[in-house]
Amino acid sequence: MAPIRVSPGSVNPPRALSILQETKSGHGRRIDYWGLDDGSFFMLNCSMRVTEVLKQFLKDFKEGLLKDQGWPTYFSVYTLSKAAMNTYTRILAKKNPSFLVNSIGPVFVKTDITCNFGVLTAAEGAENVARLALLPNNDPSGLFFLRKEVSSSF
């Protein structure tokens, strides 16, 4: 049996996060795939900023300007939702140091939604999420895990 957690814990499973960058026009913002380093994180350390980016994305999406404004055009809504979830995870961890909050990319899991083309079974994917949810109270927080390893591609 796992020990009872003293501090709250959370695991967010979305995968793609990246940094905020200016778009070609200079007034909009976008989220790229490449990763959020610690220096960039402090620039983002506000959920209002993430909300601004998402509102700009939604506006550009509605106006058909994703490509012109430098947003991802392949699975753009999916990508932005995952990026926002990962960013909010970092913000929660920073604002609530007594909480254990991490994100995980469980990899491509064989499920109905992937037409069973994944590399892991559903049980293997769930094992990684459950392991993070059961980390001891003093383990690191605000990290992105790719399966069982801390990844710098957060």
Q: How many CB atoms lie within 10 A of CB 49?
A: 15
Q: What is the CATH number of the domain that holds 19?
A: 3.40.50.720
pLDDT at 143 over 60: yes
Residue 81 pLDDT: 84
Which sign does the torsion angle of CA 30, 36, 41, 45 carry? positive
Residue 59 pLDDT level (bands cut at 50, 70, 90): very high
Average confidence (pLDDT) over 68-97:
83
Select the more confidently predicted residue: 129 or 21.
Answer: 129
Is residue 78 included in any domain, yes or no? yes
User: How much of the chain, in percent, has pLDDT values that exceed 90?
Assistant: 6
pLDDT at 68 over 60: yes
Domain enclosing residue 44, as ranges: 9-150
Is residue 2 included in any domain, yes or no? no
Domain count, the chain: 1
E strand segments, the chain: 9-12, 20-22, 29-31, 100-105, 144-146, 149-150
Is residue 144 included in any domain, yes or no? yes
Residue 22 pLDDT: 38
Average confidence (pLDDT) over 92-119:
84
Select the more confidently predicted residue: 17 or 50.
Answer: 50
Is residue 3 included in any domain, yes or no? no
40/91 Cα distance (integer angstroms): 12
Catalytically annotated residue among 33, 74, 78, 88: 78
Average confidence (pLDDT) over 36-63:
70
**Known active-site residue 78:** yes
Angle between helices 47-62 and 76-95 (to 10 degrees): 170
Residue 64 pLDDT: 95
Residue 152 pLDDT level (bands cut at 50, 70, 90): low
Is residue 1 included in any domain, yes or no? no
33 by Cβ neighbours in 10 Å (0-12 / 13-18 / 19+) ranks as middle
41/46 Cα distance (integer angstroms): 9
